[in-house]
A and B are shown apart, each in its own frame.
Chain A
Amino acid sequence: MFSLKVDDELELALPSESNLEKAFAVVMENYDHLHEWMPWVNEGFSLDSVREYYKQTLLKFATDGDEIGLNIVFRGEIVGGTGFHSIDRRDKSAEIGYWLARSATGKGLTTRAVGKLLEYGFEELVLNRIVIKCVPENIKSRAVPERLGFIEEGVEREAGWLHTRFVDHAVYSMLAREWREKLKDKNR
């Protein structure tokens, strides 16, 4: 099964039927934590909706579709999700999203995971542009692109619907040439 090894304790693995219930349990245990910023964590969330999502995302992965959904696995346990969506092969762009269980926060796991996705996106998927969109009030989420050196390009006003209200989307991006520059600086 496809998996990206981030380091000795962290990997990003394609979901499979066998970890469906585990992934569902992690979301349910963190329901209030995730509900705050994740539009899909709502009353419609169920084992069946995860199963359906797994089916869709696996199909898209197999057919070079517009999405690659991955579980964040820390020391063998599923602690979150990340991956690419809105992959556009013509414009060579894609968007990254992520969520993490509360117990796994504060270790820089998301930043490490997204750092790995940048490498995979620019090198393997040959992307030119990678986007992260965050609700501006979601400080923890914004810290990820900011730490990784993304550029904030603007704010799409009321672009999202979060349970009961419209929310703005701050748009961050990194271009392939910027990523290569950062890599050079790191290896210097």
Chain B
Amino acid sequence: MRSFTLDEDKIEMRLLREADAPELHRTVRANIEHLRTFLHWVTPDYSPEIAGEFIARNLKLAAERKSEGYGIFFEKKFVGTIGLVKLNWNSRSAEIGYWIAKDSEGRGIVTKACRTLIEYAHAELEMNRVEIRCALENKKSRAVPERLGFRLEGVLRQAIWRHTRFYDVAIYGLLAEEWRK
């Protein structure tokens, strides 16, 4: 099963397996308030079953080559997920999505994990375009593509509904030729 280690082995990324469900569930539960604004699947009734279903679906989608979702582990502890959430083999493009637990923010973990995934997407999967979509007002999330040299291509107005209202979405793109530079 595919995995990545980086940052002198402090960070590991690997596909989540069934046995990870309790830890995924516990981490999401501990971060409900932190995560729920921008992630539609974070709801007050988030249960171990939902965590298990997410992992099963994730493995199925990976087998079908439709997406690749990885758990992020920092010093062996599960702290969030990152994934190529939409693999378009026709237009050779992929979208990256991520979240991280509140107490693991500020260490650049997501940026590093993202850099690894971009390298993998371009070099191994031969993707031409990597895209990141963030709610316009989610400054911490937007900092990731901005640090990595993505270009802000537009702002999609009221593009997503999260719990109580619509949010504008910033769309960032990075092309293979730009990444190589």
Binding site for B on A (CB under 8 A): 39, 90-93, 128-129, 131, 151, 153-161, 166, 171, 173, 175
Contact B158 A156 (CB under 8 A): no
Main secondary structure of the interface of B (DSSP, over half): strand
Contact A158 B175 (CB under 8 A): yes
The total of interchain contacts (Cβ-Cβ below 8 angstroms) comes to: 64
The reply on B164 being an interface residue by CB < 8 A is: no
**Closest CB of chain B to A35's CB: distance in Å?**
16
Having A128-B158, A154-B153, one finds 4 other A-B pairs with CB under 8 Å, namely A129-B159, A157-B151, A157-B153, A158-B91
- In angstroms, Cα B67 to Cα A130, docked, is 26
Q: How many residues of B contact A (CB 8 A)?
A: 22
Binding site for A on B (CB under 8 A): 40, 90-93, 128-129, 131, 151, 153-161, 166, 171, 173, 175
Contact A157 B129 (CB under 8 A): yes
Contact A156 B173 (CB under 8 A): yes
Sample 18 A-B pairs with CB under 8 A, ordered by A number: A90-B161, A91-B160, A93-B159, A128-B161, A128-B166, A131-B156, A153-B154, A158-B91, A158-B93, A158-B173, A158-B175, A159-B91, A159-B131, A159-B173, A161-B91, A161-B92, A166-B129, A173-B157
Contact A155 B153 (CB under 8 A): yes
Residues of B within 8 A of A93 (CB): 159
Contact A158 B161 (CB under 8 A): no
- In angstroms, Cα B159 to Cα A133, docked, is 14
Contact A161 B156 (CB under 8 A): no
Residues of A within 8 A of B166 (CB): 91, 128-129
Residues of B within 8 A of A92 (CB): 161
**Closest CB of chain B to A43's CB: distance in Å?**
15
